[in-house]
Amino acid sequence: SPQDRSKKKSRKHQRFLERRVLLEQKGLLNPHGHQSTQTPMVGPEAHMALTKANGITTQRSGKVPKPKRVMSASLSPSASPDSIARHHSVLLSQGNGSSKVQMSSLVLRPGKYVAIDCEMVGTGPQGRLSELARCSVVNYEGDVIYDKYVQPELPIVDFRTRWSGITKQHMKRAIPFKAAQAEILKILKDKIVVGHAIHNDFQALKYFHPKDRTRDTSQIPLLKQRAGLPVRANVSLKNLARHLLHKRIQVGCKGHSSVEDAQTAMELYRLVEVQWEKELARSLPPQPPSPITDPTADSSQYLDDQYWPTDLMASGL
């Protein structure tokens, strides 16, 4: 009825006035009917002068612009691998320019990717059993976040120093396997893990990492193609590094460095990151678009209560 519509309109107007008072009290809006004491700004400066307070962007002219919904530039730390791949694909589909590619990498890299490499020694009969003796983990940028020597559960028969770089001296500061395993698995949890022939590292850790969260540089055809090597060939990390990164690793007689190998694996992954992740996204089964990455989401409801700052609503509305 007209009377009900009048009441609804009146309540809506009352709530508008209450919100206006709150904005004025918080300094987000000039008091009604009063001119600002600041020097008036003209021309382009008037449009560029923005201030941010409590998550609401306002122009110095006193007008409160209607917020616009934009695509999120980040993912939740708990995002699943398929969400990451799809997010990457959506960003790539927005353009082919280098800036778009660079943005997609920036979106995905923080804390979500690590690279790992382990060195093993020989235990058991004739030293044929491989056990963990050192583990190194680096982040997306190649910075070391874990590097410790590990005491195997069985007595060491063969240090394999020529390849492992492990000596008897290193075992003096080694930590027990169970302690190292717990520390390493805590780092790997919910991460995309990069490595070369990474199944050997997981075997040494007595651990199985989800396949969709694993990036094995020995299994990426893109790297072999770029290096001009047969796609089905087993290519060593050393050869890929020489062909694609123009760097020499695993040289000399003092053994490998697990830190250097982990950093090299991450560098190789980053060479083909965009194309590889895009191919992975294509191979995933179709799913409804996420609200985070859906550019067509409706933005006309931003004046509803749910979009107002929580502290502002709790102040008296």
pLDDT in tens, the chain (317 residues): 655 556 566 777 777 788 777 777 766 666 655 444 444 444 444 444 444 444 444 444 444 454 444 344 444 545 555 555 555 555 544 444 444 444 444 445 557 999 999 999 999 999 999 999 999 999 999 999 999 999 999 999 999 998 899 999 999 999 999 999 999 999 999 999 999 999 999 999 999 999 999 999 999 899 999 999 888 889 999 999 999 999 988 887 777 899 999 999 999 999 999 998 888 888 766 655 544 444 444 434 434 444 444 444 444 44
What CATH number belongs to 110-283? Answer: 3.30.420.10
* Whole-number pLDDT of residue 255: 73
Pairing of β 175-176 and β 214-216: unpaired
Token code pair at residue 200? 């050997």
Q: Which residues does 309 contact at the CB level (< 8 Å), separation at least 6?
A: 54, 55, 56
Residue 252 CB: number of other CB atoms within 10 A? 9
How big is the chain, counted in residues? Answer: 317
Instruction: Identify the bridge partners of residue 50 per DSSP, sorted by sequence position.
Output: 59
35-36-38 Cα angle (round to 5): 145
Please, are residues 271 and 246 in contact by the beta-carbon 8 Å criterion?
no
> DSSP letters of 63-98?
--PPP-----SS--TT--HHHHHHHHHHHHHT--SH
Q: Domains of the chain: which residue ranges?
A: 110-283
* Whole-number pLDDT of residue 145: 96
Token code pair at residue 10? 């009146």
Cα separation, 278 vs 299, in Å, equals 28
Cα separation, 50 vs 170, in Å, equals 58
Q: How many helices (H) and strands (E) does the chain have?
A: 12, 9
Look up tokens 């006193």; give the residue.
62
pTM of the model: 0.59
Q: Provide the 3-class DSSP secondary structure of residue 216.
A: strand
Q: Provide the 3-class DSSP secondary structure of residue 26.
A: coil
Report CA dihedral (47, 50, 54, 56) to the nearest 10 degrees: 20
In whole angstroms, what separates CA 224 from the centre of its chain? 26
Q: Which helix (H) or strand (E) holds 187?
A: helix 177-188
Query: Nearest CA to 119 among 151, 157, 152, 166?
Result: 166
Instruction: Identify the bridge partners of residue 116 per DSSP, sorted by sequence position.
Output: 137
Cα separation, 91 vs 93, in Å, equals 5
